[in-house]
Structures are given as structure tokens and as C-alpha cells.
Amino acid sequence: MALITLRRNFCHISDFWIPGAVAALKIHPANHVQKIVKDRLHVWFCSLHPGLFRVRFHHSYCKNFHSQNGNDFHPVAEPWFSQAQEWNQPDGSLSRKDEETLCKRLNSFTSPDEVLSFLSTQDTLPVTLASAALHRICEVGERDYEQRLPQGVLETSIFRALCLQCGRDPSRLTDAAMVTALQSLVTLPVDPQSSLMLTLMAECRSRLQRGLLETRLLCILGESLVRLQGAGCETLELVLCQLQSKNLETFAPEDIVAIYRILQACPEKVDKHQTFLNTINNFSLSIVSFLSPKSISHVLTALVALDQTHAVPLVIKLGKHMVRYIPRFTSEELGKVLEAFVYFGYSDRFFTEALERHIAALCLSLDPDVTSAVMAYCSRKRIRSEPILDAVAEAFVCQSEKFSPSQISELIEPFGKLNYLPPNAPALFRKLENVLLAHFRCFPPRMLLRLLHSCSLIGCHPVNFMSKIFSPFFLQRLQGEESRVDRVSQAQLTQLFMTSVLECAFYKGPKLLPQYQVKSFLTPCCSLETPVDLHLYKSVVMGLIDLLGSRLYFASKVLTPYCYTIASAL
């Protein structure tokens, strides 16, 4: 039996041969045999090149590992390793308590190098722990290396051995380990047609068809399938069908968020699964208080992508819940939330107050994307928030070079729409003028016109740019491939021209050609004028009726020859 065990342990090592070992096994007792073998193994291992055994598990030194295009693992039917063995001890050599301890150690590491260094000290690693280690490497690696593991990690013998361990016999994997391994490999530049991926996919499909996977694993598998094979994957449809058969009361909050992400990735399936989605929307009302800021952002983004305009109660509850957590949102998450609120038309006084405190606290460190989203939210909902507008104006003055042309336009236009002039207006518009002078041609014509028109609405008349926008060259660019300049642009041009006549008498540059002027600013799609306060307007109308005796004796929105609109009494 000792001879059989010895050969089993070293049958894969072609250079291994100890003269006299068989005789020693026959003649000497077991304890003496162990001493002889131990001594000779020590001499043999020490004689090998030291570079081959920088790690303690001796199975993982690898040769001739190939990749296609430097990224993809080796395709089907071609070996990954010329020589690779399993870990020295069987899976059963670790107790469940030891496995739990190792899992806790793995989860404490914060970089792939730490995980690999820890694995190099292990003489045995069950396949379940190999899966957990692979997942941890991908998890911390994506965070540290911008969604992509460095090539140095992918090429290490330990990392390759982990992949081989997970794919050698997936039937030995637990359901959780199998799904986790697939989830991890999907994030890597692994060829979907590699033998490893095909083997894991086949095992996942087999267990899925037998209905063996629990809800959490179904959600993880569904997201992995979306990333691996896209929305048209047949297996994904099976995952969605099984999720619908589950009891929603057993779903954890993260499972609900995962379902939203899965459906968001395949919007063409929404009509087919709308009933299920309606059920999810209603059920989500009960778990809002358990959602993290990241989860709230994911849910709102999915609701927008899936056009769930009837899920307004859920949007309102999410908005009320997130008020206290606004500082915990990342810039990207907060931007997505604000985009969703603009899409659904949601606004709330408490949310606005919390947003004011958050933006005012950040001020000079505001991210351009968040700034654009905040200003779009205030503009769309007509929120004339002085703390937000002042902070945004200050942020632009201090870091204007970080803003793109579209972000600059989205930042400046609400000032005109909301009729607000910030305290640092001279510095703000001086900085804006310098940016426009340096990058005038980088701004699309219509965007530039909207931007300059907004400046004129708050009394900052763009005199230095009027000659450029009234020029035939700019007007031709504005017209583009259409036969004429659109009505809104003509109205904006006319208002700028009248500004040059009425407010800037010193302007002596080119005039706007008559064919680009309009006689009325009432446009079919929108109005260029700031809408009056409805309650104030009604009060004035009722007062005039009492004074004049009838509604027939006065009119509103009367256009004068100078293109100003006034309320006029007969």
C-alpha cells in the first residue's frame, strides 16, 4: 500500500526516481521508510533549480502558456499547461472550520498580490476555496486596476493553477463555488470558447435544468450570462423563468437589485416579462429601507432604461429614503440618481435641501459630471437654489479646464433659465469668455447659441461674440443640412440682435440678416420667455377685472415693436 501511495503522489513527475526506494519499502518498517524517503526527497528537491519552487504548492509550475492577442486564454482542445498537478492533499484534508478560516483570510486581502502570496503558502486548496480565491482576486483587482486585472497577475502560475483547479472537474464544485467561478472568469479576458468556460457553462446549464440553484445563485448566474453571451442567451431565459417561479418573500434586497440589472441589460425582453417586472416593482416598495446608495442608483437606472413610468410610487419612496444618505453616494451614482429624477419628473423639498448641503460642502471638488446632472435637475424642475447655483459657479471658476463644451453649456444655461446671477458673476463670465475665445470652434453651433442666449437673459450680453454668430459662416453652420434655421434658433438669434440694439448701443458690428429674424417669440414647442408665476398672474388678472370691470379691456403677452412682451390695458 505504501508503494502504491508513493507512485500515486509522484506519477506526474517525469524526473522523479530514487534508486533503492522499492527495496527500502520491502525491507524496512514504515517509520524507517519515511525517514529514508524524506532524506532523499530533500536532496532531490534541493538539487532542482530554485526558481521553480518559489511557491510552496509544487503542482503549479507551468510551461508554454499561450494566449491569443495577449488577452484570451487558450482555445478549446489545446492544453493550458504542459505539466500541472493537483494540490498535494485531497479536498477532505481540510475541515469545514479550516475552510471558513481560510475564506475569512481571503476576504481580508485588498489586492491580487496579497491573495496570490497567501495561496503560495498553502499545501492544499480545496476546489471550493480555489473558486473563492479566484473571485476575490477578480473582485479586488477590478477595483484597483480599473475593471481589468494586470497582465502580470494573469500570467502567474498560481493564478493559472486556480483556473485549472476550478475547471478540471466542475462536478466536484458546490453550486455556490461553480457560479462564483463563472462570475469571476467572465470579468477576465477569457475566451468564451475556451475549454474552461465551456466546461463551467455546461455544468451550470445542467444544474439549472435540474432546478438545483437557489435564488441568489440564479441572480449571479443571470448577470454572468448577460456579460458573457448577451441578452439573446437561451440559458438566460431559463434563469428568468425559474426566478419567476420563486417566492418573492425569500428574495434578499441584493437579489431584487440583480434582477433589475438583468432586465436592464435586455430591454427587448421587458414586454414578455412585464408582469414579473410589475410584481418586482410592487415588492421593492417593502425593501427600500434596506437598499444601499449603490443599490438605489442601480434600481433607478434600471427603471429609466426599462421605461417604468408607472413605477412612480417606487421612485418617490426611493427619493425620500435616500435623503439622509446623499453624502455616501459616489459622483457616478449621484449623477445616475439625478438623471432618473429628471426622467420621472420627481422633486422633493427635503431632497433638494439635502442636495444643497452636499453640493455646498463639496464646492471646489465638484465632479463635472455631477455638476452637469445637478444643473440639469435644477433647470428641469425649475429649482432656483442659490446654494447650489453659487457652488457650481465657484467650481467652474476654479476648474473650468475640467469641463467639456457640453458640460459648460449644461452648467451655464440654467442660470439664464432660472434668472439668477451668482455673486461671482464677473469672475464666472470672464472665465467663460476666455474658454469661448480659446475653444470657439469646439462648441456645436446650436449649443453655442443656447449658451450665449442664456448669458443675455441675465444681463451678461455676449457683445464680443455677436459679430461671429451674426456672420454668414456661423449661420450656415447653424443651418447644417436643413433648408432653413429652425424656429427656436431664429427666435434666440432675434433676441440677441434686439439686445445689441436696445442694451448695447455701442455695438457696431454686423447685424442679423432680416431672413433670420422673427416677429414673434411664441414658438409651437416652447417659449423663450421666463414663465410667470401662475398664482401671481391670477391675482393680477382678478385685480384688473375688478378695476376695469371686464376681461375684455386688457390683454397679456402683447408683443411690442421692440420685441418685448408686456401685459397691456386698453
Please list, in sequence order, all residues whose beta carbon lies within 8 angstroms of the beta carbon of residue 277, skipping any fewer than 6 positions away: 263, 270, 306, 308
Q: CA distances (Å), 271 to each of 263, 307, 308, 333, in order?
A: 11, 11, 11, 27
Determine the pLDDT at residue 55.
Answer: 35
pLDDT, tens only, 332-378: 999 999 999 999 999 889 999 999 999 999 888 888 999 999 999 99
SS3 call for 477: helix
Determine the pLDDT at residue 263.
Answer: 93
Helix segments in 309-444, DSSP class H = 312-321, 331-344, 349-362, 368-380, 386-398, 405-417, 425-438
Per this entry, what is the length of the chain?
570
Q: How confident is the model at residue 185 (pLDDT cuts 50, 70, 90)?
A: confident
The yes-or-no verdict on residue 1 having pLDDT over 70 is: no
CA angle 153, 154, 155 (to 5 degrees): 90
Higher local confidence (pLDDT), 195 or 417: 417
Ranking 277-281, 348-352, 558-562 by mean pLDDT, the lowest is 558-562
Determine the pLDDT at residue 333.
Answer: 93
- Residue 374 in grid coordinates: 445637478
The chain-wide mean pLDDT, for the chain, equals 78
Percent of the chain clearing pLDDT 90 (strictly above):
37
Every domain of the chain and the residues it spans: 1-48, 52-213, 224-345, 347-443, 453-528, 534-569
pLDDT, tens only, 462-504: 999 999 999 999 999 998 877 788 888 988 999 899 888 888 8
Give the integer Cα–Cα distance in Å for 525 and 527: 7
Determine the pLDDT at residue 524.
Answer: 57
Q: Are the C-beta atoms of residues 204 and 178 closer than 8 Å to each other? A: yes
Give the integer Cα–Cα distance in Å for 466 and 470: 6
Please return the burial class of 433, using the count of CB atoms within 10 Å of its CB with bins 0-12, 13-18 and 19+.
middle
- Residue 56 in grid coordinates: 510552496
The yes-or-no verdict on residue 15 having pLDDT over 60 is: no
For the CA atoms of 135, 137, 140, 144, the dihedral, rounded to the nearest 10 degrees, stands at: -140
For the CA atoms of 386, 387, 391, 394, the dihedral, rounded to the nearest 10 degrees, stands at: 50
Give the integer Cα–Cα distance in Å for 510 and 466: 8
Mean pLDDT of 121-134: 75
Give the integer Cα–Cα distance in Å for 86 and 185: 20
Give helix then strand counts, H and E, for the chain.
27, 2
Handedness of CA 473, 474, 479, 483 (dihedral sign): negative
Phi-psi region of 514 (alpha: psi -120 to 50; beta: other; left: phi over 0): alpha
Q: How confident is the model at residue 284 (pLDDT cuts 50, 70, 90)?
A: very high
Instruction: Tell me the CA end-to-end span of the chain in Å, nearest whole number.
Output: 117
Determine the pLDDT at residue 152.
Answer: 67
**Entry pTM:** 0.70
Beta partners for 555? Answer: 568
Ranking 127-131, 174-178, 180-184, 434-438 by mean pLDDT, the lowest is 127-131
Determine the pLDDT at residue 22.
Answer: 37
Give the integer Cα–Cα distance in Å for 127 and 167: 9
Q: Are the C-beta atoms of residues 315 and 346 closer than 8 Å to each other? A: yes
Percent of the chain clearing pLDDT 70 (strictly above):
75
Ranking 73-82, 311-320, 514-523 by mean pLDDT, the lowest is 73-82
Give the integer Cα–Cα distance in Å for 29 and 20: 15
Instruction: List, in sequence order, every beta strand (DSSP E) within 436-534.
Output: none
- Residue 181 in grid coordinates: 467561478
Please return the burial class of 408, using the count of CB atoms within 10 Å of its CB with bins 0-12, 13-18 and 19+.
buried
Determine the pLDDT at residue 261.
Answer: 94
Determine the pLDDT at residue 137.
Answer: 78
Give the integer Cα–Cα distance in Å for 244 and 280: 10
Q: Are the C-beta atoms of residues 454 and 489 closer than 8 Å to each other? A: no
The yes-or-no verdict on residue 41 having pLDDT over 70 is: no
